[in-house]
Amino acid sequence: MSDNLITFANVSRFYGEVLGINNVSLSIPPGVTSLVGPNGSGKTTLMNLMTGLIRPTEGEIRVLGIAPNDPGRLCRAVGYCAQFDAFPKGLSGYQFVYSFLLMHGFEPAECGRRTLAALEMVGMMEARNRPVAAYSKGMRQRARLAQAIAHDPQVLVLDEPLNGLDPLARAEAIALFQQWGKAGKHVIVSSHILHEVDRISDQVILLSQGYVVAEGQIQSVRGEVKDQPMQILVRCSRPNQLAARLFIENHVVEAKLHTNGKEILLRTRDADGFYLLLNRIVLDSGIEVESVSPADDDVNSVYQYLIGGEGAAI
């Protein structure tokens, strides 16, 4: 088992008779991984399991080779910004981060240095000495983020980390996640904001009703959704002529001409075959193609096909 992966092997978790997640097997590499799914799909259960807050009913979990029932090792490697918007009473932002750093066993001076660095990173230096109770929702979110990153964990688990942040703070947070992902850390993010998930993620895990519906890089996940024709947008000089040629081939099921007269949206069941055909048509007919781009290989579309639609399966 690799020490650089987060692995779930046939993991199930039940809350009494209620299903949390069922028979999940995953292998999460470093980088930014987004957990996507509707409420109750098992995202938070998955996060709580990998941080040791709850235990699996069945199966085995390893986080960088560490079992979650070993908090002494696990919590040095993992930082978790949970969804609970609650804080110990009577603390300032600085005291909040500092107090829990002390429990990691750092010397007080080191705790002070790390606390300031974490607060600086999330843009909370000015408000650090104000009581947390006086913070806005976005500030509380950033304080929790600072607490999760202050011990410099290798794995960051962030449950809806963009909630409550204003657009500027949101952009800064996304940049941080991407920076950590590029630095080789595991950044596990759950979010409902699908276009932001698209921007952030190196890979996605789609969950529905406690099951993993799909996982991997979003383009490859989209490629595996065979029962939904791929949408491709072509910008070219003679879209009418292109559409006529394409319909001869039976794997192109639909073509929509854009009102600007320069774009055509095609739906095909065989994307690879389509690209070969397009090359041939361009060579034969002299149509000038300006751009060709997939129109539905984003998280939003895949989410609609697999979860939000009529239950299409891979």
Partner 1 sequence: MSLYLRQIGAVLRLEMRKTFLSRRGWWVYLLAFGPVFLTGMHWLIESARHGGRHSIGEDTLVFAGIFHFYYLRLGIFFGCVGVFSNLFRGEVLEKTLHYYYLTPLRREVLVAGKYLAGLLSATVLWVGSTAISFMLIGRHFGAAYNDYVFHGPGLGQLGSYCLVAALACAGYGAVFLMSGLFFRNPMIPAAVVMVWENINPFLPAFLKKISVIFYLKNLCPVEIPIPPPFNVMVIDADPAPFWVAVPGLLAVTLILLAYAALSARSTEIGYSE
Establish if 48 lies at the interface with partner 1 (CB under 8 A).
yes
Go through 44-83 and write b for each residue having 16 or more CB atoms within 10 A of its CB, e for each that does not.
bbbbbbbbbebebeebebbbbebebeeeeebbeebbbbbe
Nearer to partner 1, 56 or 239 (CB): 56
Establish if 178 lies at the interface with partner 1 (CB under 8 A).
no
Instruction: Measure Cα distances from 188 to 5, 55, 191, 276 in Å.
Output: 12, 18, 10, 37
Question: Which of 2, 55, 183, 195 is close enough to bind partner 1 by CB under 8 A?
Answer: 55
Cite the beta strand spans of the chain per DSSP E.
6-15, 18-28, 31-36, 58-63, 78-81, 155-159, 186-190, 203-208, 211-216, 230-236, 252-257, 263-268, 289-294
- Assign 256 to helix, strand or coil: strand
Question: Which of 88, 184, 286, 309 is close enough to bind partner 1 by CB under 8 A?
Answer: 88
Query: Measured from the CB of residue 4, what is the shortest distance to partner 1 in angstroms?
Result: 20
Question: Which of 51, 115, 201, 301 is close enough to bind partner 1 by CB under 8 A?
Answer: 51
Of 85-93, 192-200, 251-259, 275-283, the segment contacting partner 1 by CB under 8 A is 85-93
DSSP state, 249? S
Establish if 295 lies at the interface with partner 1 (CB under 8 A).
no
Nearer to partner 1, 43 or 267 (CB): 43
Question: Which of 17, 39, 84, 291 is close enough to bind partner 1 by CB under 8 A?
Answer: 84
Establish if 54 lies at the interface with partner 1 (CB under 8 A).
yes
Nearer to partner 1, 89 or 259 (CB): 89
CA distance 82 to 70: 19
Establish if 175 lies at the interface with partner 1 (CB under 8 A).
no
Residue type, 134: A
Residues in the interface with partner 1 (CB under 8 A) total 32
Establish if 117 lies at the interface with partner 1 (CB under 8 A).
no
Query: Measured from the CB of residue 148, what is the shortest distance to partner 1 in angstroms?
Result: 8
Question: Which of 3, 17, 39, 86 is close enough to bind partner 1 by CB under 8 A?
Answer: 86
Question: Which of 30, 37, 79, 181 is close enough to bind partner 1 by CB under 8 A?
Answer: 79
Query: Measured from the CB of residue 117, what is the shortest distance to partner 1 in angstroms?
Result: 18
Q: Return phi, psi of residue 37, to 5°.
A: 170, 160
Establish if 80 lies at the interface with partner 1 (CB under 8 A).
yes
Helices 93-102 and 137-149, packing angle to 10 deg: 20
Closest CA to 26 of 56, 70, 69: 56
Establish if 268 lies at the interface with partner 1 (CB under 8 A).
no
Q: Contact, 69 vs 61, CB < 8 A? A: no
Q: Contact, 187 vs 30, CB < 8 A? A: no
Nearer to partner 1, 38 or 105 (CB): 105
Q: Contact, 267 vs 252, CB < 8 A? A: yes
Residue type, 218: I
Site residues for partner 1 per CB under 8 A: 15, 48, 51-55, 71-76, 78-80, 82, 84, 86-91, 95, 99-100, 102-105, 147
